[in-house]
Amino acid sequence: MAGAISHHALASTHPLRWSAQNSRFEKKTGNVRLVYEGSFPSGSRKLGLVCASGSQSSVVEPVQIPSDGNSGHTPKKSSESALILIRHGESLWNEKNLFTGCVDVPLTPKGVEEAIEAGKRICNIPIDVIYTSSLIRAQMTAMLAMMQHRRKKIPIIMHNESEQAHRWSQVYSEETKKQSIPVITAWQLNERMYGELQGLNKQETADLFGKEQVHEWRRSYDVPPPNGESLEMCAERAVAYFKEQIVPQLAAGKHVMVAAHGNSLRSIIMHLDKLTSQEVISLELSTGIPMLYIFKEGKFIRRGSPVGPSEASVYAYTRVRTFHIF
């Protein structure tokens, strides 16, 4: 998948090979070879990356990228939809090592940088609709990421909390609507509610209650902290919302980005990758690293993390399975 290829890389003078016979060219930038298929220079096209690391190479299958509309040709409707999952960038309470849960705190400067970097990784992937939690750190991540997108569309939060809020936030220009991307916020995508642990320092809590007890609260699947949610409880609401609201968008051919939280995204990934309750409790998600899935014929295919402008990365790791990206 063509993920976040920098303008510098595209404009560089590395050798370019073009074959008119099969409408294909290859372009090498460092350890990345860009493979282009389709009509040139206009019309819809397919982009793929071949990345080499040491003596190994990995190939990411090409995914249809719609035309920019300037060629005069109507692009064929793709049978595939992209699903991008992003855990929010570092928050102020992440930085302070506090249990955050559903407390609404913003990003740190590092979190802002992580969100911008995430946007660069996905800047060439079409996005039609964005879902976030109701918490500001996820919304900031979505907005900052979209500012890096090649289409330069404006993300607009949909206010459907009341009839008046919906009416007052209407856009009456069809042209403006075409240049916008709806952002839908949902509490069901919120972080797991940590109950009476919210606001407490994680290390001090471990000292007070014991490391084993705190580890059980944090990493067990079905044991909640005092007056809080277990991962199982979080999964019930997050996965139900995903099935009811997001999957129909993908089935309709829409490309979707979800900016949410460690536990709500772990729940969704558990559903997509069919992880067991033992596998999911060991799943760790890095802040600000996007994960790409392709929805095709009713099935989800994991494509990993789109390649960044300068280097590849690791999206997630577990004791049971490791997801290395290139």
Residue 307: per-residue pLDDT: 63
- The band of 282, judged by pLDDT with boundaries at 50, 70 and 90, is confident
Region 277-301: mean pLDDT is 92
User: Class assignment of domain 5-10+81-304?
Assistant: alpha beta
Let me know: does 23 contact 46? Beta carbons within 8 Å. Answer: no
Residue 43: per-residue pLDDT: 40
Query: Within the chain, how many helices (H) and strands (E) appear?
Result: 12, 15
| Residue 87 annotated as lining a ligand binding site | yes
Distance between CA atoms of residues 195 and 28, nearest Å? 52
Q: Which residue has the higher pLDDT, 66 or 236?
A: 236
Return the beta strands (E) in the chain as ranges. Answer: 16-19, 24-29, 32-38, 45-53, 56-65, 80-87, 129-132, 154-157, 180-185, 256-260, 284-285, 290-296, 299-304, 314-317, 322-324
Residue 301: per-residue pLDDT: 95
Region 253-274: mean pLDDT is 97
- The band of 38, judged by pLDDT with boundaries at 50, 70 and 90, is very low
Residue 283 CB partners (closer than 8 Å, separation 6+):
266, 269, 270, 275, 316, 318
Q: Model pTM?
A: 0.72
- The band of 73, judged by pLDDT with boundaries at 50, 70 and 90, is very low
- Sequence spans of domains, the chain: 5-10+81-304, 16-78+310-324
Determine which of 51-55, 63-67, 224-228 has the lowest per-residue pLDDT on average: 51-55
Residue 209 CB partners (closer than 8 Å, separation 6+):
none
Q: Which residue has the higher pLDDT, 30 or 13?
A: 30
| Residue 90 annotated as lining a ligand binding site | yes
Residue 68: per-residue pLDDT: 40
- Active-site residues: which are they? 88, 191
Amino acid identity of 284? E
Instruction: Specify the 3-state DSSP secondary structure of 318.
Output: coil
Let me know: does 268 contact 239? Beta carbons within 8 Å. Answer: yes
pLDDT tens for 92-142 read 999 999 999 999 999 999 999 999 999 999 999 999 999 999 999 999 999
**Is the per-residue pLDDT at 253 higher than 60?**
yes
Length of the chain: 326
Percent of the chain with pLDDT over 70: 70
**Is the per-residue pLDDT at 221 higher than 90?**
yes
* Torsion sign (Cα): 274, 120, 25, 314: negative
| Residue 237 annotated as lining a ligand binding site | no
Residue 77: per-residue pLDDT: 52
Residue 304: per-residue pLDDT: 85
- Highest mean pLDDT: which of 48-52, 57-61, 303-307? 303-307
Helix %, strand %, coil % of the chain (to 5): 30, 25, 40
| Residue 96 annotated as lining a ligand binding site | no
Let me know: does 273 contact 306? Beta carbons within 8 Å. Answer: no
| Residue 202 annotated as lining a ligand binding site | yes
| Residue 70 annotated as lining a ligand binding site | no
**Is the per-residue pLDDT at 191 higher than 50?**
yes
